[in-house]
Each structure stands twice: as structure tokens, then as C-alpha cells.
A and B are shown apart, each in its own frame.
Chain A
Amino acid sequence: EVQLVESGGGLVQPGRSLKLSCVASGFTFSNYGMNWIRQAPGKGLEWVAYISSGSSYIYYAETVKGRFTISRDNAKNTLYLQMTSLRSEDTALYYCVRHTARGLDYWGQGVMVTVSS
């Protein structure tokens, strides 16, 4: 069974940093591209970042470019999102999402990040 389990969220002050993790299981993690997608409270879905299976290709939404860094450790089956210079508008539920030829086929349960003083 495919599982994606996010962690590392919490309450953080504006301007501070936070690092999210997503541990994958039930599939060969190193074969798949991965995404972070977020959802602000009561709002829709916003794609944040993508990383290819071997980390050769990395893309970011303009809203986070230069502040967030996506990375992965295939030996640990883990996806990361390093978030710096956090703003109130970054407050959201962050999902770790698997990317396949059939689309975004598995989503984690999400981890909440709240940016507030």
C-alpha cells in the first residue's frame, strides 16, 4: 500500500524557517517525481514545487521561488521542503504528492503550517 506521511509542520513566526518531511512507503520512491501542494484554510489547491526522481529537474511556483527548497533523499525514501522567510500567506496544509504518468495519484494526509506572530 502506498503511503506518504508528512511531518514537521507547526506554528512559526513570520520571517522564520521550517522544514517539512515526507516519508514514502509501499512503492519504489526513487522511480517517481514528487510534488508539494498546499491548501490554505478554506481555499483551493496550489502547487508549490516539483522534483524529478533523480533530482535533476526542480520547479517552483513563483510565490515561493527563492524562499523554498525542495529536495529528496532516495536512500531514506524521504521528500523535503525547506521553507525560509515564511509569510502569513504561506499558512496552509501542505501535501506531499506522487507524480506519475497518470498524474498526481497519491496524496499524503497533509501537514499544517501556520505562520503567525
Chain B
Amino acid sequence: DIVMTQAPLSVSVTPGESASISCRSSKSLLHSNGITYVYWYLQKPGKSPQLLIYRMSNLASGVPDRFSGSGSETDFTLKISRVEAEDVGIYYCGQLLENPRTFGGGTKLELK
């Protein structure tokens, strides 16, 4: 199975500042078709997860452009610029390259 490892476990950010969350996969998520099958999700308190970033760097519909995704074959970063109160929650990375689909353990973002 592909293991997804996130860091840090939690991050505390001052509103208006930036935050970065890292995710590492135990295997390259770069397919021969050139697509990197890593995704980012946000689970706000008491809510279902929502898709933020697909295929490493593409913004999902309706997601503010304060969010961005980047990375290589095994190391990925979610960056949130100008953090707002609505960004609070748990962020998960996940892979859809192969079965079983797997997720990172999550990173909790809080406001200072």
C-alpha cells in the first residue's frame, strides 16, 4: 500500500499569515501519463471533507486561489496564503494512483 505521511500534525497560524502543510508518499505518484495523482482535502469542524486540490496543483471548483498545491513525485506541499478563519479544520492529502486509495493522517490548522 502507498503510505501517505503528513507534517506537521498541527499548525497554528495568525490570520493573514501563510501556512504550509507537507505530505510525502512512499511511492512515486507520477503516472506515465504525466499526471501526479495526489489530492488535498479539508474537513472543517463537524463537516464532511471537501476537495481543495486535485492532481497535485489544480484548484477544485469554488476553492479560493489562496490555496495552492505543488510538489514532485513523492513530496507535496499545500500552501494557504492569507489564512482566514474559515480555513480552520483538518487537512488531508490522499492518492488515487492505485488501490487501495490511501490518505495521510491529517494536519490540524488552528488560528492563533
Chain A interface, >50% SS class: strand
Known: A44-B92, A45-B92, A45-B94. Is A102-B102 also a contact (CB below 8 A)?
no
B41 at the interface (CB under 8 A from A): yes
- Please state if B41 and A104 are interface contacts (CB–CB under 8 Å): yes
- Cβ of B14 < 8 Å from any Cβ of A? no
A50 B101 Cβ-Cβ under 8 A: yes
Q: Give CA–CA (A105, B101) in the complex, Å.
A: 14
Bound complex: CA of A47 vs CA of B104, how far in Å? 11
Residues 47-67 of chain A: 1 if any B CB is under 8 Å from the residue's CB, otherwise 0?
100100000000101100000
Assuming the A-B contacts A35-B101, A62-B100, are A102 and B51 also in contact, with contact meaning beta carbons closer than 8 angstroms in the complex?
yes
Interface centre among A44, A102, A103 (most CB of B within 10 A): A103
A105's contact among B51, B92, B102, B104, by CB below 8 Å, is which?
B51
**Which residues of chain B from 57 to 86 have a CB within 8 Å of any chain A CB?**
58, 60-61
Q: Are A103 and B54 in contact (CB under 8 A)?
A: yes
Taken together as a complex, chains A and B put the C-alpha atoms of A115 and B26 apart, in Å, by 32
Question: Counting CB contacts under 8 A, is A108 at the interface?
Answer: yes
Q: Which residues of B contact A62 (CB under 8 A)?
A: 100
Counting chain A residues whose Cβ lies within 8 A of the other chain, the interface size class is 10 to 19
A108:B48 contact, CB within 8 angstroms: yes
Q: Which residue of B lies closest to A106 (CB)?
A: B51
Are A107 and B48 neighbours in the complex by a CB distance under 8 Å?
yes
Docked CA distance A45–B96 (Å): 14
B39 touches A103 (CB 8 A): yes
**In the complex, B12 has a CB within 8 A of chain A:** no
Bound-state CA distance A66–B102 (Å) is: 20
Residues of B contacting A45 in the complex (Cβ-Cβ under 8 angstroms): 41, 49, 92, 94, 103, 106
Roughly how many angstroms separate A42 CA and B77 CA in the complex, as a whole number? 24
A44-B103, A46-B103, A104-B96 known, 6 other contacts, Cβ within 8 Å: A45-B94, A45-B106, A47-B102, A62-B100, A104-B94, A105-B51
